[in-house]
Structure formats: structure tokens, C-alpha cells
Amino acid sequence: MSRLRRYLRGLWRMAEVNRTLFYFFLLRLGDALGLRRLWAFLRARPHPEPLTGPIALRLALQRLGPTYIKFGQLAASSTGILPERYALELARLLDEVPPVPPEDVRRVIEEDLGCPLEEAFARFDPEPIAAASIAQVHAARLRDGTDVVVKVQRPGIAEIVERDMHQMRLITRALETLIPVLRLAHPTRQIEDLRVQLGEEMDFELEATHMEQFARIQKELGNEDIVVPKVYRAFTTRRVLTMERLYGIKISDFDRIKREVSNPEEILLRGVRAWMQAFALHGFFHGDVHAGNFLLLPGRRIGYLDFGIMGKFDAVSRDRIFRYLQAFVTADVAGLVKPLQEMGAIPPDTRVEDVIHDLEALYAPFFTRNYRDIRYHEIFPAFMRRAARHGWSFPREFTLLTKQMLYFDRYAKALAPDVNLFMDPRVVSFLYDTMSAAL
């Protein structure tokens, strides 16, 4: 009976997805034809805001819930997957996710901690500081007076994600069969990567372990100015994560940071180098350094938040990255091919000469242009299109690593415009020397 119930729920969910997408398609069509404005006029109501394609897609993903919201967030942050106007609109999903009702938050906490909310916390703010696709964060105070934040998972999210991911796998497999050219983009592999990532993000005990490991690495390296929130294990479970509250400035608040510190370049470089050390020495790196997770703290310290997405490289993979870096820094395009082949990024039957030719065309701006003239929003979409056309498939960790470098580069453009994170010796030589010592 339970299998039949899951099957029927799956059919209902698929119908819901199709109904939602069709509904917003009709709204978008009505907007393009002027029907929404006509309807508002006939009912003597204010003219509605224009409903563009990107807005309609964002609203549809919001209505479909956490799995689709996360899918939209990942698509928005993956350079080259979507046109820029779609990526910019879907980026709003990072901040505009409807919160869970307070009574549901209370129920999750009390079920997991095994006691009333008031027994665990002296104060708990029912209004979330932030709401995301998987969880939301609340300010609270422990009974000993310690200010904390409590990350609470959305109720029922695990079941919803499992059901949605199963359907996404079925859909992508069907599309690959019907449209063979789509196989070059490896959609089934992308969905599987998303499934693995979501599974890790929904395990807050694992995230707590990541936080403690990253903090331990920074302490061993002597990076006392790198701060990771302390985890309170007594109030942490798979669905509830209680941690120290950090007060700081988002790295994207560029004007305020420039007012607070006289040398923002030095702040940025310290943060980047600490992140690189964890990667180079331990194959372990923060995999989501968007602005909300990278803070300037009092005392010129740097804080890292949200360890749900982490990258992990074994020694063999780090060696491949090291050789790739060597080739990149020396503009040895032919030298890039071997480590890419070893990563499995390039199909074995691909002609090496064709790969070298493509890489020369793609990487030429890094070697020939002034840093300020490099337009990543043009280069990386071109790279992704060419990769899809030739069937290149980069490992999840490699893509995740590259994405973080793009985040850091975005901050450097604003705070340290003379620093080219891809070529600056204070960054590249540091990473090169650190990896040489580790390997």
C-alpha cells in the first residue's frame, strides 16, 4: 500500500508541476498580448507590473517549492547555464523564499531536541533572519545568555526532495532518449550531482562536522583571524543546527567595507588565502562563498558561514589540479589537456588537437588582455557552450572550485581592482607553493 501511495503522490506531484508551469506560461502569454492590462482596466484596478519570462520562471519555481527553488539557485549561480537576464532574476531566489510558519518551526525543534522550545532557549525570535529553500535561520539566546542562531530545516523537505529528484531523473532520461544531442550536456549527471548536494545540505549534523573541521584547519594553520561559528552540539540534530551568532558586514557591501578599512585588498587576500590553504593542504574547501557567507567582522577578522556545500579532493585529484594550475599560469595550453583527460572531463576519443585549439581560443583573454578588460560574463558562457557541444563533462568538485574563484574575483573587482586572482603572484604563487609542499 505504501508503494502505491508513493506512486500516486508522484503522479499528483508531476501533475502539479505541469499545471504550475502551464499556468505561468499562460500568464506570461497574457502579459505579452496585453490581456492582463486589459483585465485590470475592465475591473478598474491598477495596471499590473510587467511579467517577463524570467519573472514568470522565478515565480513558478517559488510555487513548486524547495527542490525547484534550489534548482533555480544553482542555475543562476552557474555561469553560462542561462542568459544573464534569467540568471539575475533567479538569483533573487537566494533571498525571496517564503518563510515557514512559526508553529511548524516550533514543531521541528521540539521533535528533534525532545523538549519544549522554551526549555532549550531563553529567547527565540519567531521571525526568521533569512529563509532559504532547505531551511531558515532564527535569532535565539541560550539559557546561559549566549546569543546564537538556529538553522531549522523545512518540515517534510527530505520526502519532497526525494520525490522531486526521482521525477527529474525520469524526465532527463526521457529527454536524452528523445533528443540525443542533449546527452552532450549530461543532464542526468547534473541531476545526480544536485541530488547528492541536497542530501548533504539536509544533514545538519554533517554541516556541523564541516564547520568544526574547517575551524580546526584554520587553527592549525595559525589563521586566528579566520572565524567559523562555534557549534552547540547539545542543540544540534540532523534538522536543527545551533551555532554562535556572528555580527559582521557582508563582503558585497563594498561601500561600507571601504569606509571601515583603509586597505580592503588586504582583507580580501587574507580571506582568499585561508580558503586556498584548506583546499591545497587538505583537499577541503567551502563550496558556497556567496556574499552572505563571507563577512568582515570587528577587529579586521574574516568570518565564513554556511557549510552545507563543501568541496573535497583526494590527493590524486589535487595533483591533477596542481598540474592544471601549472599549465594555466605558464600559458601552456597543451599542458592543460592531460589533467583534464585524467579528470574524465574530455571523452577519450576526442582529438587532442581540437581540444587545444578550443582551449587556446577560450583562454586567450586571460593571457592577452588587461585584467580589467576581461569579461567573464562573455567568456564563461562561451566555454560552457563549447563544452556542451564537444561533450566535455567536468567533475562536480572542479566546477564547484571554479565557481568559488569567480565569486572571489567578483569581490576583487570591487575591493581590489588591481588584483587578478587568476594570475596575481600573491594568490597563484601562494597556492602553487602551498600545493607543492602538500604534494
Task: Note whether 231 and 357 are same-domain residues.
Answer: no
- State the helix-helix crossing angle for 333-343 and 352-368, rounded to 10 degrees: 120
- Which H or E element spans position 349? none
Decide: helix, strand or coil at residue 319: helix
What digits encode the pLDDT tens for the residues 277-323? 998 889 899 999 988 899 999 999 999 999 999 999 888 888 888 88
Q: Which domain-ending residue is among 245, 266, 282?
A: 245
**Looking at residues 372-391, what average pLDDT do you find?**
67
- Under DSSP, the state recorded for 396 is H
Task: Note whether 111 and 210 are same-domain residues.
Answer: yes
Q: Say how far apart CA 126 and CA 100 lie, in whole Å.
A: 10
Task: Note whether 64 and 186 are same-domain residues.
Answer: no
Q: How confident is the model at residue 206 (pLDDT cuts 50, 70, 90)?
A: very high
Asked if 298 contacts 234 with a C-beta cutoff of 8 angstroms, the reply is no
Task: Note whether 159 and 179 are same-domain residues.
Answer: yes
Q: How confident is the model at residue 275 (pLDDT cuts 50, 70, 90)?
A: very high
Q: List the domain range (segments joined by +) for residue 338.
A: 247-439
In this prediction, residue 432 carries a pLDDT of 67
Q: Which domain-ending residue is among 197, 225, 245?
A: 245
Decide: helix, strand or coil at residue 355: helix
Q: Which domain-ending residue is among 215, 245, 275?
A: 245
Q: How confident is the model at residue 139 (pLDDT cuts 50, 70, 90)?
A: very high
Task: Note whether 238 and 266 are same-domain residues.
Answer: no
Known catalytic residues are 288
What sign has the CA pseudo-torsion 346, 348, 351, 356?
positive
Q: Say how far apart CA 161 and CA 165 lie, in whole Å.
A: 6
**Looking at residues 180-199, what average pLDDT do you find?**
74
Look at strands 226-227 and 301-304 and give their pairing: parallel
Global pTM?
0.83
Task: Note whether 211 and 108 are same-domain residues.
Answer: yes
Q: Is the pLDDT of residue 324 over 80?
A: yes
